[in-house]
Amino acid sequence: MAAITAAEMWTTVGSTIASFMFVSTIIHQYCPHEVRHFLEKWMHTLMGFFNPYIHVSIHEFTGTRLNRSEAYAAVEAYLSTNSSKSAKRLKLEMEKDNKNIVLSMDEYEKVTDKFQGAEISWVLGKTGLPQQPMGSAYHSEPERRFYKLTFHKRYREMIAESYLQHVMKKGKEIRVKNRQRKLYTNGAANRWFITKQTMWSDVPFEHPARFESIAMEAEKKQEIIEDLLHFSQSKDFYARIGKAWKRGYLLYGPPGTGKSTMIAAMANLLNYDVYDLELTAVKDNTELRKLLIEITSKSIIVIEDIDCSLDLTGQRKKKAEKETEDKNEQGKKETNSKDPKEESISRVTLSGLLNFIDGLWSAIGGERIIVFTTNYVEKLDPALIRRGRMDKHIELSFCSFEGFKVLAKNYLLVEAHPLFETIERLMEETKITPADVAEALMPKSFREDAEKCLSNLIQALEEAKKKAATKKAEEESRGKEPAKDDSLVQGKHETEEPQGLDDGGVLL
């Protein structure tokens, strides 16, 4: 009899479920959207009346994926400590030069937390569909992750006033502790358009540069350090004067003087991320603003060799003539098919770059440093490097004797030597870049000692002096004025290669 009763019960349940599914299908197919929306809202209200639990969602991105939520990042860091103890499915990440292992909860995993007698549950969920392959014709809605916090309604006040503040505070502390600084670069525009992912790609920032190792006069070096530290601690000052919390640095000087190395030292001093912005890969001013929005605070935005990046060299008087010539050429070469190369040409303008530096959009985020580097500062438009945009101009010139002593200590562990007197005299008579001094001091084999390396530098200085004298004599024989000496030692600066962030190996 009991078995028959159970069978009848399951039959009734199955019939009820089938009826519910049938009614739900009819509603979705034949009811207008407004009616369905009303029914869903009514059912949600009804369920909420009987459900004693409150749900709070914290999404990864705010707005239309413009900016990653700081609250989401704090929750992610906070839960990493609890999830490693209770969650069954975890994700593993390496931080701080692979020294620290960070375990965080995987998708749809549930973690329980306790706070002041309340039991609180967290679930990591996501919406949308997985991204399609690059060549796919169909592009689905991108995945969006979120944390859902669930608690009993009796704890509403405590959660809102105490628990969430506790989570944010602890999460930020954990993020600072485990933070791995990144080096970012912007990719091609079509990659972002297709996948709807971030416009920046990143790798761990591991450049070892320090100010202590830079070949520069101690007084000038200390001035730069104090300026950077003062900026990083001046949030209230910038708010009081009504100015965006940012600062611009212009690094200029001949090739090989360590401009990129200076940027790495700045990042290591302040513990900032580095965003290496390649302007030629930016499609237009709108995309430039989108890149700016995704840049986090505590970061250095770098545009290296800006005189080579775009037409930003102050020759605006020639633009009208150039546009006329382009129109004439376009009329001659007009065809039914478009040149694919034209679509890849950057349309970033000087006006767009100026707005990027100190326009309305530049106030988003805060605590940012913008750095321009150039070998030819005289080519740049004055509007681009005026005070207020590039607040501090730093000339990185040829190596001084004081800078040489820093390099000698770094490379050879030597602070004094009988050959120093000869080197000092030669450095007063000719010019040499820190990169060339570093190359001469670099031991080429285990048999080369400090004296041999110093002799190599003396030989390089003497050769540079002879080349400079020969060049001057040739110019005088042709009746020309002696040209300014850009770099007497390099002697082959026909090319103007952009320097990477690891150039000018003056700090190894």
Say how far apart CA 508 and CA 258 lie, in whole Å.
Answer: 12
What one-letter code names the amino acid at 501? L
Distance of CA 354 to the CA centre of its chain: 19
Distance of CA 366 to the CA centre of its chain: 14
Total Cβ atoms within 10 A of residue 256? 27
**Rounded mean pLDDT of the chain?**
78
Residue range 64-81, pLDDT digits in tens: 555 678 888 888 888 887
Say how far apart CA 94 and CA 233 lie, in whole Å.
Answer: 30
Residues contacting residue 179 through CB under 8 Å, at least 6 positions apart:
95, 271
CB 458 within 8 A of CB 422: yes
Residue range 404-450, pLDDT digits in tens: 999 999 999 999 999 999 999 999 999 999 999 999 999 989 889 99
**Is pLDDT at 247 greater than 80 in this prediction?**
yes
Q: Where are the domains of the chain?
A: 22-48, 52-127+143-178, 201-314+346-395, 401-472
Say how far apart CA 199 and CA 185 lie, in whole Å.
Answer: 9
Among 179, 187, 181, smallest CA distance to 204 is for: 181
Say how far apart CA 269 and CA 300 lie, in whole Å.
Answer: 12
Among 178, 147, 174, 153, smallest CA distance to 59 is for: 147
pLDDT at site 456:
93
Total Cβ atoms within 10 A of residue 32? 8
pLDDT interval class at 49 (50, 70, 90) = low
Structure tokens at 394: 């730093």
Q: What is the DSSP letter of 361?
A: G
Residue 95, phi-psi category: left (phi > 0), alpha (psi -120 to 50), beta (remainder): beta
Residue range 24-42, pLDDT digits in tens: 777 667 677 666 667 677 6
**H-state helical runs in 333-431:** 340-343, 350-358, 382-385, 401-412, 420-429
Question: Could you tell me which residues are beta bridge partners of residue 102?
Answer: 93
Residue range 286-307, pLDDT digits in tens: 888 888 888 888 999 999 998 8
The CATH-assigned architecture of domain 201-314+346-395 is: 3-Layer(aba) Sandwich (3.40)
Q: What is the pTM of this model?
A: 0.70
Distance of CA 431 to the CA centre of its chain: 35
Catalogue the E-assigned strands of 206-260: 246-252
Residues contacting residue 278 through CB under 8 Å, at least 6 positions apart:
185, 186, 309
Instruction: Average the pLDDT over 486-503 and give the result.
Output: 42
What one-letter code names the amino acid at 159? I
**Is pLDDT at 16 greater than 50 in this prediction?**
yes
Residue range 448-484, pLDDT digits in tens: 999 999 999 999 999 988 988 888 888 888 865 555 5
Residues contacting residue 430 through CB under 8 Å, at least 6 positions apart:
461, 464, 465, 468, 488, 489
Q: What is the DSSP letter of 68?
A: E
**Is pLDDT at 342 greater than 90 in this prediction?**
no
